[in-house]
Structure formats: structure tokens, C-alpha cells
Amino acid sequence: MRVLRSESGRKVTGALMAIALCVLAGALTHSAGPATPNWNRPPTLDFPLAGGSYSNQRYSALSQINRSNITKLGGVWSMLVEERGRGGTLDGTPVVVDGVMYVTTGARNVLAIDVKTGTVKWRYRPESEEGKTGANKGVVVADGKVLFGRRDNMLIALDQQTGRVVWQTRTTTQRAAYSSAAPVYYDGLVFIGVAGGDGAVRGEVAAYDVKTGKQVWKFSTIPGPGEPFSGTWEADAHRWGGGVWNHVALDPDLGMIYVGVGNAGPDTDGRLRGGDNLFTASILALDLRTGAYKWHFQEVHHDLWDYDAASPPVLADITYRGRPRKVLMHPGKTGFLYILDRTNGKPLIGVEEKPVRQEARIKTAKTQPFPVGDRFVPLCPEPLGAYEQGCLFTPFWDKPVLIFPGTSGGNAWAPMTFSPQTSLAYIPASVMSTVYTSKYDEFDETTGTFKKIGGGDGFVRPPGAQRSGTLTAMDPTTGKIVWQKQTRYPMGTGSGLLSTAGGLIFHGESDGNLVAYDIRNGEELWKFQTGAGANGPVSTFEADGEQYVAVMAGGNNILLSPRGDFLWTFKLGGTLPEAPPGRQPPLIHPAPPQRQP
């Protein structure tokens, strides 16, 4: 380990957990490390899950850092997590339990770090090359273990004190599959999904025994022949798609987990898979004990645009028309905020099934769901060159069509936040279009992918196209925008948001700045340059009576942000200076590099 810069070397005195724990339906029978996060109360001292709590609200009740003193926030320590200045993509949330921070790196290393000094307590390195590559959303700490998923489909349990492997379990035998989500723990069970739905992968989500790693149940996100909803697929096309890219939400009172399900495969060629293609591009509710199906809501029927439900579902208890309601919110790539009754999956405000343009060759769905309310990104792209212009749900075939939102438009996977203090949802989004064409001609068994006529993958980010973003506050009782801020860089595929009781929203920007916004109106109040694209989710926690903020800065290929290998922590009065900025991301999509003759 190499600490780059450290403001303080004081001894840590382990913060004590002060969250009052409720006895929920299905009482806890296994210890979740020092404390189990109370799903319907925001975290205070610790940040114990990637989503902050079981609800994925990414809201903290801490308020020591607030609007009145945010300008005094400064760096405490920073370090190179891969020890070489440039690592893999750093997409993980810094998880904090009792004064120790746990992070995953792009090379699939796991570190346990003293939150006050930046001293590494232990480091886990995978034993094989297969376990090293790819993005990872983070860990969960439970039963004295640190659990995370690897790119090679291994679910790993490490000893919380030493970092040694306690057990490891293969989550699937599918060759092209991998795990990118952070696990979630509840009452002896560890929940994690299998992704890779862009290729020859059938999505799965499963529960494992935290003591042994034994699989307790598994649910395939695409039904097999003869199973309920299998009629929404044509022939044997059910073999591909439905990856689970992100962590689940969990409601112990209702006994359900909620899963965002990815796109069908092949993603842009619908001729191979007639029907609505359940449960792709859907929110899926399962019994947390058995994995039994409870309900679903499909955001996009017969998805042709890679509009998968990739960001984490968010749970909240709100008042709607004078009555308390249990809701689930999910921001889509479509630019809609889907607001559902999480007890049954029915839309809270309303959804209209509207006719859409048809293309028989790719078997388009006759209608698509349009939630009542506002969209947080525009409906159509700005004109660009000679491309045919297309809006949301425009079909395509052999001729290129410029469509908005694109594959990385709207909210792709960056987590939103919900503040119980304001009762509003805050959504990061990207204003980005894509040029789509279709026509796959064969499936490659060796790579688990679909080859395309003339090469390519069915979509292109066109040179000269707009690349910007929006930060939007929305009222889940109306579906209406309360305020919206246009942002310089795309937000939908990056850091995501964190809100606090101090009246702040934190976001890591593609240009390397960690930014604090006023939760009331989106005004920028503070920023700090980290030296690389700050594209990892932000967390906040308390140690010895002081509130800290943490973020990983490693860059992001989709956002074209500067690459790096940094982990930063901040507190009021921190004196560590800002890092030199890296190469700044372009505001329009650049032309691809020219091949040399």
C-alpha cells in the first residue's frame, strides 16, 4: 500500500453504531458484522451497504457538513488503490462499518482501510487472472465477512478482520456471464445477480447462505419453456438476456427483494425474439426467502434500444392523496421515473399504453408504457448531419437512425437518491443520442456474442452528437419536475447521487471534480478536483464525532473521463490540496481515431 498524502496519522478509536435497530418481520438470526442496517431508516454513523440501506435511498441523516459550512470541506487523505496511478474502472461505493472502509478496485482487489488515516489494514488479491478484470459496485459486510462478486462468477467471502478467504461459490456455469453488482445481505442470506445479458447469457438472481456459501434459491430472469410468461418469447430465444447489473432493494416487512432486469439478447435485433420478452427491461419482485415470483412491471416491451433497467430500484414510504403508500421508484434510460406500489407492482400515478411506430422485420411491440408526468431528459435528439431523426421508441432496420435517448442516455446505471427530508427524488441523467442499425447474422459460440453484418454492435455514438446531462428533482406523488439543472457532462452513467440531512447532494463529475449541490435548487456550492474522473458513488459516515465524505476516482470509458487510481476522503477543515486536473472530457462525442494505412 502507498498512501499518497495524509493530513493526519491519529489513532482510530472505532465508531460505535448508534442506529436504533427494529425487530422486523423475520427477526435477525445472524450477525451482520457490527450492525445490520435498518432498511427503513437512513444510515447515520456508518455507510453499510452500496445503496446506504436496504431501500437504496442513498440518503444520510448526518448533517455536520451542511449548506452553511460546505466551503470548509477539504481533503483528509488520498491514496492509490492499485498502487500504480492507473487502475481499472472504479465503480464501487466505499462501504464503511465501525471505522473501517471496504472498497473494491477494477482489478478485483478488496481493501480494508482505516477511515481516519488511510492506512490499509489488509488487501485481498484474486488468485487467478479471470478474477481480476472489470467494474464492480462494491461489497457488503455481514456475519464477520466481507462479501463481493467477481468477474469470473465467483461470490467470495473474506474474513472481516484478516481478508483471508472463508469460502467461495460459483454463481453460474454460463461462460459469458459475470457479476458486477454489490451483494446485499439480510438475515443469513446474501443476494446477488448474474449479468452479461448483452451476449449469450440468461440472467439470474440468487440467494446464498452467509455461513457456507451454499445456494438457497435461484430465479432465472427469463422464463424457460412451459414456465409462466414463457409465451412472451419466440422459439428458444429465451436463452439470452435479462442480466442483473446492479444491487437489489429489499423490504423485510413485505418479505420481498426488488430486482432491476437488463435487456434482451441480441439487444438490437428483435427478429430473433418476437413477443414482449419478459422479464427483460423490467422491475421484478421476488419472495426473499424462496425466490418465488411476486410481481413484475415491464418498462419497455420487446426492447430494441438497450433500454435495460440497470440502475438500483429505490424504496420509500410516502403520503399520496392523504394515505401512506409503500412505493418503488426507478429512473429509466427512457427518461421516465417509474413510480410503483411496491406491494403489488401497480403504477402509483398511472401509465398509458400508447401506440408506437412499427417495423415488422424486427417485430416491434404495438404499444409502449408512458408514465403520467414529466420526463427528465428530452424526447427527441437535436438534428445531426444527414441521419434520419428518431425519438423515443423509433424503430430501425438497415438504415441508420439517430435516436434519443441513446444506449447511454437517460439514467443508465448511476444511482438516484431519495430524501425523506424533502420527499423528493433526485435523478442524474445523460443527454446522449445513439445511431442504431440492426441485422445480426450469426451467433458466435466461442465468444458468446452476436456478429453483425458488416461488423459493429448495432449502435454507434455519432461524432458531433451532444454530450451533456441533467440533475432533476421530481415529486413522486405527481411525477412532475420540481427543479432541473442542466449539467456540463453526462450524469447517467457515472457516480450517481448522495443526499444528506445537511441539505446537500454530492456527485462525482467526469472532469474529476467532486461537487456539492444545494438540495433546494441544484445550485453548485462547492467542488474539489480529485485528479481523475470521479465516477464512483459517494458515501458519507462519521468517525470520532466528525463527518467524512469518500469517493473513488478512476475514470470511465463511456464518459471519456480522465483515468486514475484514487480514493479520497474529506471532512470539515481538511487541508489536503486539490489534485492537478486530468485531460478534460469532450462536450461533444469525438470522431473515432483514424486507422493507419
Catalytic residue among 143, 267, 276, 306: 306
In Å, how far from its chain's centre is CA 566? Answer: 20
Please state, in angstroms and rounded to a whole number, the distance separating the CA atoms of residues 115 and 541: 9
Extract the C-alpha cell encoding 316.
420509500
Checking if the pLDDT of 586 tops 70, the result is no
Q: Are 476 and 456 in contact (CB under 8 A)?
A: no
Tell me what pLDDT residue 507 has. Answer: 98
Q: Are 48 and 38 in contact (CB under 8 A)?
A: no
Q: Which CATH architecture has domain 2-572?
A: 8 Propeller (2.140)
Tell me what pLDDT residue 459 has. Answer: 61
End-to-end Cα distance, the chain: 44
**405-447: per-residue pLDDT in tens?**
988 899 999 999 999 999 999 999 999 888 887 765 565 655 5
SS3 173: coil
What is the DSSP code string of 271-300?
GGS-S--TTTTEEEEEETTT--EEEEEESS
Please state, in angstroms and rounded to a whole number, the distance separating the CA atoms of residues 62 and 557: 33
**56-89: per-residue pLDDT in tens?**
999 999 999 999 999 999 999 999 988 765 656 7
205, containing H or E segment: strand 204-209
Please enumerate in sequence order all residues whose Cβ is within 8 A of that of 495, keeping only pairs 6 or more positions apart, or say none.
Answer: 414, 428, 507, 508, 509, 534, 535, 536, 537, 538, 551
Q: Amino acid identity, residue 581?
A: P
Q: Assess whether 306 carries a catalytic annotation.
A: yes
What is the DSSP code string of 39-50?
TTS--SS-B-ST
Domain ranges of the chain: 2-572
Extract the C-alpha cell encoding 579.
489534485
Checking if the pLDDT of 108 tops 80, the result is no
Q: Cis peptide leading into 376, omega within 30 of 0?
A: no
State what percent of residues in the chain have pLDDT above 90: 64
Q: If you search the block for the grid coordinates 392523496, which residue do you land on?
A: 321
Q: Provide the pairing of β-strand 449-452 with 351-355.
A: unpaired
Please state, in angstroms and rounded to a whole number, the distance separating the CA atoms of residues 540 and 230: 44
Tell me what pLDDT residue 309 has. Answer: 96
Tell me what pLDDT residue 5 has. Answer: 40
**202-228: per-residue pLDDT in tens?**
899 999 999 999 999 999 999 999 999
For CA atoms 553, 558, 562, 563, the dihedral sign is: positive
Provide mean pLDDT across the span 343-349: 98
Q: Are 198 and 209 in contact (CB under 8 A)?
A: no
Tell me what pLDDT residue 89 has. Answer: 74
Q: Which residue has the higher pLDDT, 128 or 270?
A: 270
Phi, psi of 362 (to 5 degrees): -115, 15
Tell me what pLDDT residue 563 has. Answer: 82
SS3 104: strand
221-226-229-235 Cα dihedral, nearest 10 degrees: 80
